C-alpha cells in the first residue's frame, strides 16, 4: 500500500478525493497493517452512531479495541492509502466514474 499524505486530522470522507483509496490500519510499533474499504467503515460508524464522513482519522484509532496480532500492543494509526496494483489510468477511470 502507498500512503497518501493527508494527516491524522483528515476526515474519513476525504477518500472521495482519492479514487480507489483504502483506509489503512497499521501498528506504529511493528508495521503490521490491514486495509479496509472506507464505505464499509463509514456504514459501521453510522450503525453504531459513532460518526460518519466527518470523523477524523485520529478518532478512529481510539475505536480499535484489539491488540496487534504481531506484537500485542495497541499503537494504531489510520491513514488513506492506494493499493500497490492501482495504476494512474485506473485512478483517472475511477475519478471519471465518480464525477459522472
pTM listed for this prediction: 0.81
pLDDT, tens digit, for every residue of 25-48? 999 999 999 999 999 999 999 999
- Three-class SS of residue 4? coil
Q: How confident is the model at residue 89 (pLDDT cuts 50, 70, 90)?
A: confident
Domain chopping of the chain, boundaries: 2-99
The residues with which 24 forms a beta bridge, in sequence order, are 35, 79
Q: According to DSSP H, which parts of 1-100 are helical? A: 38-47, 57-63, 88-99
Q: Answer yes or no: are the C-beta atoms of 23 and 35 closer than 8 Å.
A: yes
Amino acid at each position: 500500500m502507498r500512503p497518501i499524505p493527508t494527516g491524522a486530522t483528515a476526515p474519513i470522507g476525504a477518500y472521495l478525493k482519492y479514487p480507489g483509496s483504502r483506509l489503512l490500519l497499521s501498528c506504529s510499533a511493528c508495521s503490521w497493517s490491514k486495509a479496509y474499504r472506507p464505505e464499509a467503515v463509514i456504514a459501521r460508524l453510522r450503525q453504531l452512531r459513532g460518526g460518519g464522513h466527518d470523523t477524523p482519522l485520529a478518532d478512529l484509532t481510539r475505536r480499535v479495541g484489539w491488540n496487534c496480532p504481531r506484537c500485542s500492543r495497541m499503537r494504531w494509526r489510520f491513514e488513506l492509502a492506494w493499493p500497490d496494483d492501482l495504476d494512474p489510468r485506473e485512478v483517472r477511470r475511477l475519478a471519471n466514474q465518480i464525477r459522472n
